Structure 1
Amino acid sequence: MRRIAIALAATVSIVVLLFSYRTSTDQTPVAAGRPLGGGQPSAAASPTTSGGASGGDGTFTGDAADTRYGPVRVRITVAGGRITDAQAVEYPQESGRDVRINSEAVPELNQEALQAQSAQIDTVSGATYTSEGYQQSLQSAIDAAHG
Structure 2
Amino acid sequence: MRRAVSTAVLTTAGVVVLLSLKPHHSTVLLSVPPVPGASSPGRAAGPPRDGTFTGAAVRTPYGPVRVAAVVRGGRLVAVRVIQVPSGTGRDQQIAGYAVPRLAREAIGADSARIDAVSGASYTSQGYIDSLQSALDRADG
Give the TM-score range, shorter chain.
0.7 to 0.9
User: Which of these residues, 79, 84, 87, is aligned with residue 94 of structure 1?
Assistant: 87
RMSD (Å), alpha carbons = 2.6
Percent of paired sites with the same residue? 47
**Equivalence for 2:35:** 28
1:39 paired with 2:45, answer yes
What is the TM-score normalised by the length of structure 1?
Answer: 0.74
Q: Distance in 2 between matches of 1:27 and 1:139?
A: 12
Q: TM-score, normalised by structure 2?
A: 0.78
Unaligned 5+ segments in structure 2 are 23-32
Give secondary structure in 1 for the equivalent of 2:64: strand
Structure 1 consecutive aligned stretches of length 4 or more whose deviation exceeds 2 Å: 1-10, 14-22, 26-31
Question: Where does the alignment leave 5 or more consecutive residues of structure 1 unmatched?
Answer: 41-54
Q: Which residue of 1 aligns with 2:11?
A: 11
The number of residues matched between the two structures is 128
SS at match of 2:71: strand
* Alpha-carbon spacing, 1:21–1:31, altered in 2? closer, same or farther (3 Å): farther
Q: Secondary structure at the match of 1:66?
A: coil
